[in-house]
Homo-oligomer: A and B are copies of this chain.
Amino acid sequence: MTVRIDDLDRKILVQLQQDAGQSLDDIARNVGSSKTPVWNRIRKMREAGVIRQQTCLLDPEALGFEACFFVLIRTSEHDADWQARFLESLKKRPEVQEAHRLAGDIDYILKVRVANARAYDVFYQALISEVKIHNVTALLSMEEIKSTVMLPL
Protein backbone atom coordinates (compact mmCIF):
# COMPACT_ATOMS: atom_id res chain seq x y z
CA MET A 1 0.00 0.00 0.00
CA THR A 2 2.86 2.38 0.77
CA VAL A 3 5.56 3.54 -1.67
CA ARG A 4 8.73 5.45 -1.35
CA ILE A 5 8.64 8.48 -3.60
CA ASP A 6 11.96 9.89 -4.74
CA ASP A 7 12.90 13.13 -6.38
CA LEU A 8 12.21 11.95 -9.92
CA ASP A 9 8.79 10.60 -8.90
CA ARG A 10 7.98 13.96 -7.37
CA LYS A 11 8.93 15.77 -10.58
CA ILE A 12 6.75 13.41 -12.59
CA LEU A 13 3.81 14.07 -10.25
CA VAL A 14 4.27 17.82 -10.65
CA GLN A 15 4.03 17.38 -14.42
CA LEU A 16 0.97 15.14 -14.20
CA GLN A 17 -0.81 17.55 -11.89
CA GLN A 18 -0.04 20.46 -14.20
CA ASP A 19 -1.05 18.73 -17.42
CA ALA A 20 -2.07 15.10 -17.53
CA GLY A 21 -2.62 15.38 -21.28
CA GLN A 22 1.03 15.76 -22.29
CA SER A 23 2.85 12.83 -23.86
CA LEU A 24 5.31 10.56 -22.09
CA ASP A 25 8.04 12.06 -24.28
CA ASP A 26 7.20 15.55 -23.07
CA ILE A 27 7.05 14.49 -19.43
CA ALA A 28 10.37 12.68 -19.79
CA ARG A 29 11.97 15.76 -21.30
CA ASN A 30 10.50 18.06 -18.63
CA VAL A 31 11.83 15.94 -15.79
CA GLY A 32 15.19 15.16 -17.42
CA SER A 33 14.68 11.44 -17.94
CA SER A 34 13.43 9.18 -20.71
CA LYS A 35 10.23 7.42 -21.67
CA THR A 36 10.49 3.94 -20.15
CA PRO A 37 11.59 4.86 -16.62
CA VAL A 38 8.94 7.57 -16.49
CA TRP A 39 6.34 5.09 -17.72
CA ASN A 40 7.33 2.46 -15.14
CA ARG A 41 7.21 4.96 -12.30
CA ILE A 42 3.80 6.25 -13.35
CA ARG A 43 2.47 2.68 -13.51
CA LYS A 44 3.84 1.89 -10.05
CA MET A 45 2.39 5.05 -8.52
CA ARG A 46 -0.97 4.30 -10.12
CA GLU A 47 -0.95 0.78 -8.70
CA ALA A 48 0.04 2.09 -5.27
CA GLY A 49 -2.85 4.58 -5.36
CA VAL A 50 -0.60 7.64 -5.17
CA ILE A 51 -2.01 8.64 -8.55
CA ARG A 52 -5.76 8.34 -8.46
CA GLN A 53 -8.19 9.55 -11.05
CA GLN A 54 -7.27 11.29 -14.28
CA THR A 55 -9.89 13.95 -14.92
CA CYS A 56 -10.82 17.12 -16.79
CA LEU A 57 -11.68 20.18 -14.73
CA LEU A 58 -14.74 21.98 -16.09
CA ASP A 59 -15.89 25.58 -15.81
CA PRO A 60 -18.78 25.56 -13.29
CA GLU A 61 -20.29 28.88 -14.41
CA ALA A 62 -20.29 27.88 -18.09
CA LEU A 63 -22.32 24.82 -17.15
CA GLY A 64 -24.87 26.66 -15.04
CA PHE A 65 -23.44 26.06 -11.57
CA GLU A 66 -23.60 29.61 -10.36
CA ALA A 67 -23.77 29.07 -6.60
CA CYS A 68 -21.25 27.58 -4.21
CA PHE A 69 -21.96 27.24 -0.49
CA PHE A 70 -19.81 26.21 2.45
CA VAL A 71 -22.08 24.64 5.04
CA LEU A 72 -21.11 24.48 8.72
CA ILE A 73 -22.98 21.80 10.64
CA ARG A 74 -23.37 21.23 14.37
CA THR A 75 -25.15 18.14 15.55
CA SER A 76 -26.40 16.97 18.93
CA GLU A 77 -26.37 13.32 17.83
CA HIS A 78 -23.04 11.59 18.11
CA ASP A 79 -23.95 7.89 18.02
CA ALA A 80 -22.61 5.55 15.37
CA ASP A 81 -25.97 4.90 13.74
CA TRP A 82 -26.77 8.58 13.20
CA GLN A 83 -23.30 9.17 11.82
CA ALA A 84 -23.55 6.28 9.35
CA ARG A 85 -26.86 7.58 7.99
CA PHE A 86 -25.54 11.12 7.75
CA LEU A 87 -22.43 10.04 5.83
CA GLU A 88 -24.55 7.99 3.44
CA SER A 89 -26.75 11.00 2.73
CA LEU A 90 -23.73 13.11 1.89
CA LYS A 91 -22.04 10.51 -0.29
CA LYS A 92 -25.06 9.93 -2.45
CA ARG A 93 -25.72 13.62 -3.16
CA PRO A 94 -23.68 14.75 -6.18
CA GLU A 95 -23.99 18.45 -5.29
CA VAL A 96 -21.82 17.79 -2.21
CA GLN A 97 -18.30 18.15 -3.58
CA GLU A 98 -16.54 17.98 -0.23
CA ALA A 99 -17.46 16.78 3.24
CA HIS A 100 -15.12 16.80 6.23
CA ARG A 101 -15.60 15.77 9.84
CA LEU A 102 -13.98 18.44 12.00
CA ALA A 103 -12.25 18.73 15.33
CA GLY A 104 -13.91 21.15 17.74
CA ASP A 105 -17.07 23.09 18.06
CA ILE A 106 -18.37 22.72 14.47
CA ASP A 107 -18.83 19.06 13.59
CA TYR A 108 -18.88 19.03 9.77
CA ILE A 109 -18.15 21.28 6.83
CA LEU A 110 -19.54 20.71 3.33
CA LYS A 111 -18.84 22.35 0.00
CA VAL A 112 -22.00 22.33 -2.07
CA ARG A 113 -22.16 23.31 -5.75
CA VAL A 114 -25.61 24.11 -7.17
CA ALA A 115 -27.30 26.13 -9.93
CA ASN A 116 -28.64 28.86 -7.62
CA ALA A 117 -29.91 29.71 -4.13
CA ARG A 118 -33.21 27.94 -4.79
CA ALA A 119 -31.39 24.71 -5.66
CA TYR A 120 -29.42 25.05 -2.44
CA ASP A 121 -32.65 25.31 -0.48
CA VAL A 122 -33.96 22.13 -2.12
CA PHE A 123 -30.74 20.38 -1.09
CA TYR A 124 -30.94 21.77 2.45
CA GLN A 125 -34.57 20.77 2.99
CA ALA A 126 -33.86 17.26 1.71
CA LEU A 127 -30.84 16.90 3.98
CA ILE A 128 -32.54 18.02 7.20
CA SER A 129 -35.57 15.86 6.47
CA GLU A 130 -33.28 12.83 6.22
CA VAL A 131 -31.15 13.27 9.34
CA LYS A 132 -31.55 15.33 12.50
CA ILE A 133 -29.14 18.27 12.58
CA HIS A 134 -28.82 20.71 15.45
CA ASN A 135 -27.54 23.82 13.73
CA VAL A 136 -26.61 24.78 10.15
CA THR A 137 -24.84 27.88 8.85
CA ALA A 138 -24.50 28.36 5.10
CA LEU A 139 -21.73 30.61 3.78
CA LEU A 140 -22.37 31.79 0.23
CA SER A 141 -19.37 32.30 -2.03
CA MET A 142 -19.44 35.61 -3.88
CA GLU A 143 -16.18 35.07 -5.71
CA GLU A 144 -13.86 32.15 -6.24
CA ILE A 145 -10.50 33.83 -5.70
CA LYS A 146 -8.51 30.65 -6.11
CA SER A 147 -9.35 27.04 -6.82
CA THR A 148 -6.80 24.33 -7.44
CA VAL A 149 -6.53 20.61 -6.83
CA MET A 150 -2.73 20.65 -7.04
CA LEU A 151 -0.81 19.55 -3.98
CA PRO A 152 2.15 21.84 -3.22
CA LEU A 153 4.85 19.30 -4.13
Contact = CB atoms under 8 A, between A and B. Distances in A.
Interface in A33-80: 48-60, 62-63, 65, 68, 70
Given A13-B58, A62-B3, A146 B99 contact: yes
25 contacts: A3-B62, A13-B58, A17-B58, A20-B20, A20-B55, A49-B62, A50-B58, A51-B56, A51-B57, A51-B59, A52-B59, A53-B56, A54-B56, A54-B57, A63-B151, A99-B144, A100-B141, A101-B141, A101-B143, A101-B145, A102-B140, A102-B141, A103-B141, A104-B140, A149-B149
B97 A149 contact: yes
A147 interface: yes
Nearest to A50: B62
A109 interface: yes
A32 interface: no
A94 to B, nearest CB: 3
* Closest 6 pairs (CB-CB, A-B): A94-B152, A100-B141, A99-B145, A21-B54, A16-B56, A99-B146
Nearest to A42: B56
A98 interface: yes
A45 B83 CA distance: 41
A18 B90 CA distance: 19
A53 B19 contact: yes
A18 B95 CA distance: 15
Contacts of A18: 53, 55
